[in-house]
Amino acid sequence: MTPNGFLQIGLYLAVLVALVKPLGAFMARVYKREKTFLDPVFGPLERLIYRLARIDAAREMDWKENAVAMLLFNAAGFLLVYLMQRVQHLLPLNPEGMGPVSADSSFNTAVSFVTNTNWQGYGGETTMSYLTQMAALTAQNFISAATGMALLALIIRGFARHSATTLGNFWVDMTRSTLYILLPLSIVFAVVLVSQGVPQNFSPYAHAQFVDPPRDTSGAFVKEQVIATGPVASQIAIKQLGTNGGGFFNANSAHPFENPTPLTDFLEELAILLIAAALCYTYGQMVGDTRQGWALLVAMTLILVAMLGVCYWAEGAPNVLLNGHGIDQSAGNMEGKEVRFGVANSALWATVTTSASNGSVNAMHDSFSPLGGMIPLIAMHLGEVVFGGVGSGLYGMLVFVIVAVFVAGLLVGRTPEYLGHKVESFEMKMASLLILIMPITVLLLTALAVVTSDGRGAIANPGAHGFSEILYVFTSQGNNNGSAFAGVSVNTPFYNIMGAVAMLIGRYWLAIPTLALAGALARKKLVPAGEGTLPTHTPLFVFWLIAVVLIVGALNFLPALALGPVVEYFMMIH
Amino acid sequence: MIVKHTITSLIALLLLTVITGVLYPLLVTGIAQVAFPAKANGSLLTVRGKTVGSVLIGQPFSDPKYFWSRLSATAPYPFNAGSSTGSNLGPTNPALLDEVQGRLTDLRKADSLNALPVPVDLVTSSSSGLDPDISPSAAAYQVGRVARARGIGEDAVRALVDANTRERTFGLLGEPRVNVLALNLALDESAAWKGGK
């Protein structure tokens, strides 16, 4: 840990917080359908989409109809992504002649990109044609992010409204999220990335003459270096902004073409949390009390900073097993890290990408120290509510708010209420369902993999670390994160199918009950705040909310963590 | 309701796929190829008409007269930029210790007089398998060997290292680093070096 490392982290947090209000206020205007400075550019396009797709933009829908619209739209997206991979060898823009992707891998990838997980069982530069990368994967980067943001807009209206039956129109919120928020930010960001060296072309892979030719595994000299390129920048920009995380290349954001300089690293890290953080402010504006949004943002940030501190400390320390060999380990644990980022930026990225449900990596989590690698696991075990995915993170956190309010109400013997809504048994049933389903999915699938040879066959590292690898697989997919302890060989039918199940449950089993919860809240009559009302914007409530999030997350996964990273840590130091 | 929303789903998907999956990448490509053509095409390095690599992508070196890069776990040969990957070795995996000791042996065999501690980035694999950089201390560790192998003064080598060292961006972001390929190309081109070729 160095003063410069703390300074970089401090600067990151300061810039992030400074951008929350301007972007959050802008997004509130988008969801309230007020005029924005982008109307002259995207207004005609928006109206064209409504006309051609037969969307009645003036009509609001209840939670069920919105849920149906969302599911049908995502199902269509799934089919398109699946089919494009299966027939990519017949389609244009395939200069490297990539063949069709296997059925189970295409299935997993289609589910993965539609659910905003972007788990990747494949290596991008050895599997996908340029057209698949663009029209299937880049497009779903936008569409799945816009789906999450639209769901959030609907759910926020449920929290804001009283005695109402409708939540808004999914089609309108989804279209406006894409056109007014994701697309303009991505265009600007992609051009900035190119200016730093991220490629953007449709050429075949480049071939270079090695200066000092190496030998391959058979001992023969290799004269040429193959250098994969393609339309990279346009995918990387939305991959970070939309908390998608699916890389153009196998090495993801560690690849010098995805993330060539410290400046791109800083901006990409910023992009990962930018929209999720700013949505807290949007929430505050839409419910008519910005303090409510700030309170959630403060709670998220405090949890993030605590996890970041542990991760940075653990990665900055030397690997004790390498002591005594005459190695200068002052740079920290550099296995699986890039020199231009160093330990501080690798720990920052790992914590940020798993707090948000982004899942891109600029260092290999599998090679992190035992406790450093435990932090990404914990960040995901909290249910992706510390920032989380764009939209989905905040609506997950709102569920925790309901639980926190309810438990606090029980403690003092008052009817719990939040923003003028009485919290009653239906809301608590939905909230309990939401909180239980993720750990059940993750732990059951982990257990299944550990006891089957198909599951154990994927392990790359021996001992407790191997268990952590499997736990990470299902934690990541069950929370729609997409990062990996990447040593595991998961491109097998067993993992592709089980993982897809985890991703589907993680996305829709959370989204639909939360919509139902929002629908129920919207119908309730306004309960004016009284003397017994627990204020939900105070430091007291912020700490209470943090406690609820941490206790639920810790209780669910402590035994599993004890078997993996904790055991490995104690074995290492002895 | 289902039929109506299914029709809307299909049309909206088609329109948004064209906008975000075709028009958007084309727009960015157009801007990129006009404004930053070299970077948009992979920052390729050319020496006497031959493409010798990309300034952003590392290459392996094993000749003592060159600075060596970090280890690379790509297959079937190191620094295969058509198939990026890290080693994914866990911190307690015995294979990690083997990898580190193997590199230490190679480094010491090529430079038996050097008693300096070996900087950790020189004995570990990068995350991408394509790391173009080493730390300034990893370069400093190798200056003596490279100077001797080329029969030139250490000061001349050190000057080239300094010329190919990049400090933190704005003095703050990232880590100081030395671009190995650029440094080695500069060594081959330097006036002090008349060997080889």
For A62-73, how does the pLDDT look when each residue is reduced to its tens digit (9 = 90+)? 999 999 999 999
Q: Which chain B residues contact residue A11 at CB under 8 A?
A: 172
| B185, part of any domain | yes
A563 closest CA partner among A450, A479, A401: A450
Q: Does any CB of chain B come closer than 8 Å to the CB of residue A134?
A: yes
Does the beta-carbon distance from A80 to B17 stay under 8 Å?
yes
Cross-chain Cβ contact B92/A463 below 8 Å: yes
Note whether A327 contacts B66, CB cutoff 8 Å.
no
- My answer on whether B74 and B113 are in the same domain is yes
A147 touching chain B per CB within 8 A: no
With an 8 Å Cβ cutoff, is A136 touching chain B?
yes
Asked if the Cβ–Cβ distance from B91 to A45 is below 8 Å, we say no
Q: Do A49 and B15 touch (CB under 8 A)?
A: yes
The verdict on residue B197 lying in a domain is no
CB contact under 8 A, B41 and A175: no
Cβ-Cβ contacts under 8 Å, A222 against chain B: 77
Residue B196 pLDDT greater than 70, yes or no: no
Partner residue opposite A335 with nearest CB, options B66, B125, B135? B125
Residues B154 and B69 in one domain: yes
What confidence tens digit (pLDDT) does each residue in A465-516 have?
999 999 999 999 999 999 999 889 989 999 999 999 999 999 998 999 999 9
What's the alpha-carbon Rg for chain A, to the nearest Å? 23
Scanning every residue of chain A, which has its alpha carbon at the shortest distance from the alpha carbon of B41? A199
CB contact under 8 A, A183 and B22: no
CB atoms within 10 A of CB A68: 18
- Closest chain B residue to A250, measured at CA: B84
Interface A:B, Cβ pairs < 8 A = 400
Any CB–CB contact under 8 A between A326 and chain B? yes
C-alpha separations of A10 from A22, A305, B35 in Å: 20, 10, 33
Percent of chain A with pLDDT over 90: 94
Contacts of A326 in chain B (CB under 8 A): 104, 117-118
Q: Please name the amino acid found at residue A528.
A: P
In this structure, the answer to whether residues B33 and B128 fall within a common structural domain is no
User: How far apart (Å, rounded) are the C-alpha atoms in residues A538 and A518?
Assistant: 23
State how far residue A206 is from chain B, nearest Cα, in angstroms.
Answer: 8
CB burial of A528-567 (b: ≥16 within 10 Å; e: otherwise) equals eeeeebbebbeeebbebbbebbeebbeebbeebbeebbbb
Do residues B128 and B178 share a domain? yes
CB contact under 8 A, B2 and A68: yes
pLDDT digit string, tens, across residues B15-47: 999 999 999 999 999 999 999 999 999 999 999
Residue B194 has pLDDT above 90, yes or no: no
Query: Judged by CB atoms within 8 Å, which residues 506-545 of A form the interface with B?
Result: none
pLDDT category at B197 given cuts 50, 70, 90 is: very low
Residues B21 and B72 reside in one and the same domain:
no
Does residue A462 sit at the B interface (CB-CB below 8 Å)? yes
Q: Which residues in B lie closer than 8 A to residue A251 (C-beta atoms)?
A: 84-86, 127-130
CA A60 to chain centre: 29
B58 occurs within a structural domain: yes
B69 and B51 part of one domain: yes
Which residue in this structure is represented by tokens 């900055």? A316
Mean pLDDT, residues A444-450: 96
Give B-chain residues touching A122 at CB under 8 angstroms.
none
Q: List, in sequence order, every beta strand (DSSP E) within A345-454.
A: 417-418, 421-422
- Nearest residue of chain A to residue B43 (CA atoms): A197
A188/B contact by beta carbon, under 8 A: no
A144 to chain B, any CB pair closer than 8 A? The answer is no
| Domain coordinates in residue numbering, chain A | 390-573
Specify the pairing of strand B118-119 against strand B50-54: unpaired
Are B28 and A210 within 8 A, CB to CB? Answer: no
Mutation choice for A interface testing from B8, B134, B183 by most A CBs within 10 A: B8
B131 and B84, same structural domain? yes
Whether B56 and B101 map to the same domain: the answer is yes
Nearest by CB: B78 against A73, A174, A214: A214
Judged against a pLDDT cut of 50, whether residue A321 lies above it is answered with yes
By residue range, what is the domain housing residue B32?
2-37
Q: Which of B127, B166, B184, B185 has the most A C-beta neighbours within 10 Å, making it the best mutation to test the interface with A?
A: B127
Cross-chain residue pair B127–A571, CB shorter than 8 Å: no
Q: Do B53 and A135 count as a contact with CB atoms less than 8 A apart?
A: no
Residues B56, A68: C-beta atoms closer than 8 Å: no
Instruction: State how far residue A242 is from chain B, nearest Cα, in angstroms.
Output: 13
H helix runs in A332-391, sequence order: 342-355, 370-381
Q: Is residue B176 part of a domain?
A: yes
pLDDT, tens digit, 9 for 90 and up, residues A105-144:
999 999 999 999 999 999 999 999 999 999 999 999 999 9
Asked whether A110 and A123 are in contact (CB, 8 A), the reply is: no
Same domain, B104 and B126: yes
Q: What secondary structure does DSSP assign to A81-106, as a single string?
A: HHHHHHTGGGSS--TT---PPPHHHH
Q: Region of B79 please: left (phi>0), alpha (psi -120 to 50) or beta.
A: left
Contact A328 B120 (CB under 8 A): yes
> Same domain, yes or no, for B14 and B108?
no
Would you say residue B195 lies in a domain?
no
pLDDT in tens, A23-77: 999 999 999 999 999 999 999 999 999 999 999 999 999 999 999 999 999 999 9
Choose the mutation target among A265, A340, A348, A368 for the interface with B, i.e. most B CBs under 10 Å. Answer: A340
Q: How far is CA A224 from CA A208, A230, A235, B44, in A?
A: 5, 19, 27, 14
Handedness of CA A63, A68, A73, A79 (dihedral sign): positive
Contact list, B125 vs chain A (CB under 8 Å): 335-336
Percent of chain B residues topping a pLDDT of 70: 96
**Model confidence at A554, in pLDDT bands (50, 70, 90)?**
confident
Closest CB to A214: pick one of B11, B51, B60: B60
- The string of pLDDT tens digits covering residues A300-317 is 999 999 999 999 999 999
The closest alpha carbon to A137, from A120, A159, A149, A153, belongs to: A120
* Residue B162 resides in a domain: yes
CA pair distance A39, B5, nearest whole angstrom: 26
Q: Tens of pLDDT along A196-227?
A: 999 999 999 999 999 999 999 999 999 999 99
Give the per-residue pLDDT at B195: 58
Helix, strand or coil, per DSSP, at residue B186:
helix
Average pLDDT, chain A: 96
Top residue of B4, B7, B9 to mutate, by most chain A CBs within 10 Å, is B9
**Mean pLDDT computed over A270-274:** 98
Mean of pLDDT values over A322-347: 97
Q: Do B141 and B117 sit in the same domain of this protein?
A: yes
Q: Do B2 and A45 touch (CB under 8 A)?
A: no
A238 touches chain B (CB under 8 A): yes
Has residue B161 been placed in a domain? Answer: yes
pLDDT at res. A197? 98
Tokens of A183: 């697309």
Strand partners, A436: none
State how far residue B190 is from chain A, nearest Cα, in angstroms.
15
Q: Is A327 within 8 Å of B104 when comparing Cβ atoms?
A: yes
- Whether the CB-CB separation of A19 and A157 falls below 8 Å is answered with no
Domains: count for chain B:
2
Q: Mind listing the pLDDT tens digit for each residue in B49-67?
A: 999 999 999 999 999 999 9
